[in-house]
Structure 1
């Protein structure tokens, strides 16, 4: 099976893609295109999957991914770095050709961004903590430091856990309401003491609030589609020993 690359219309013109689990060499519970360096998978399979993923989006480019920490930290990348020297951050930004920026997810929202005129791209990992902390705001600021203009930026929010699959407790809602009472609109009642959270809609809101007008949501639920995507929450609910990670990629051609 070939690697599946899910493209966003709003990013048409720049090499990019949201990848799931289709087309990789991993076997067992993480069968498919698992790219997680921290997973319990065969390191050789993970390395091969990362190569397959990069070649499917921007052949010949150097893939770089951060050591993700659920923060609001965005790092500007001017030169490639080794996998064992990954910066601790949750977004990467560059204006250099032949660098392929990658973000790993397994329910969190991947965000790919591009300013066509400035030639600046970015990839951000927006879990609930990073999204609330402002990872997309930090990413836009880093892009503007390289000459981008958020009014020109196009952004796509990739496959992530959907509201129907994302049950949280009332304390979780309280964190968001404390930041902005209007955030309650991203929650809907579930069983007593619990809510369902719309992560995708919240990330879209943060992008729009920051001044991004060209935004596309892919509308794909990682939890509900085990054949296509890895999901941390699904693996947890199934008491599986580990889980895979998928990758989202964007880069400038040489």
Structure 2
């Protein structure tokens, strides 16, 4: 029997169609085994296409999936209609107020963030790796939603599976990028190294942007091999590639 697609939901987003998907329920094999949705991986294209179809059907059947060419930027696209996969704009977040669209961001350790002002009917999805979070992708997504008519204090945001502090060792040069105001997000490690709390840092940036409700799922992509892909885990093992999971939100 085929394993069903695992859809992890956040309570703060209520009945809005959404899901943080991992690797369960897909057709890919080998090092990409599971629900790999990354066009940029070296997986078979037919498998990626089928996994994307399954992801959509698990969250908002019949919706048009919209993703971007992610570049670890603070850039946000306001979506009014879907575009072809081979014409994806370079950005790291999407917002919309249009029904029938399913916004998606891909991750493999970075933090996926879903946002919604349910009263106004506005949604957003952001890919917040350390570079994008430091550059302001969370604040830019909130601002783009506000431009559509959302209110910051009404926005609920959920931070999905990402690499946890216990799995995220960084060097001194990395720490220096965040110093000195963000020392609380680092735990001392071996000489010249520290452990970075990406999830808490993203939550702080959302709070500073005025987001009214913030939920952290507390799921570690690196440690949860059976459920999630992880770029860092694949790198540490010397594997030649890695899968990507997808996070989705839409308006029916």
Runs of 5+ consecutive residues of structure 1 not aligned to the other structure? none
- Which residue in the other structure is 2:201 paired with? 202
- Which residue in the other structure is 2:26 paired with? 24
- Which residue in the other structure is 2:123 paired with? 121
CA RMSD between the two structures? 0.5
- Which residue in the other structure is 2:50 paired with? 48
Q: CA deviation at 1:213?
A: 2.3
- Which residue in the other structure is 2:81 paired with? 79
- Which residue in the other structure is 1:88 paired with? 90
Q: Distance in 2 between matches of 1:150 and 1:17?
A: 22
Deviation by residue 1:87-133 (Cα, 9 ceiling, x = unmatched): 10000000000000000000000000000111000000000000000
Name the TM-score, length of structure 1 as normaliser. 0.98
Which residue among 96, 99, 102 is the counterpart of 2:101? Answer: 99
- Which residue in the other structure is 1:241 paired with? 240
- Which residue in the other structure is 2:221 paired with? 222
How many residue pairs are counted as aligned between the two chains? 250
Structure 1's consecutive aligned runs of 4 or more residues displaced over 3 angstroms after TM superposition are none
Q: Distance in 1 between matches of 2:127 and 2:219?
A: 16
Q: CA deviation at 1:13?
A: 1.5
Deviation by residue 1:141-180 (Cα, 9 ceiling, x = unmatched): 1001100011100000000000000000011111001xxx
Runs of 5+ consecutive residues of structure 2 not aligned to the other structure? none
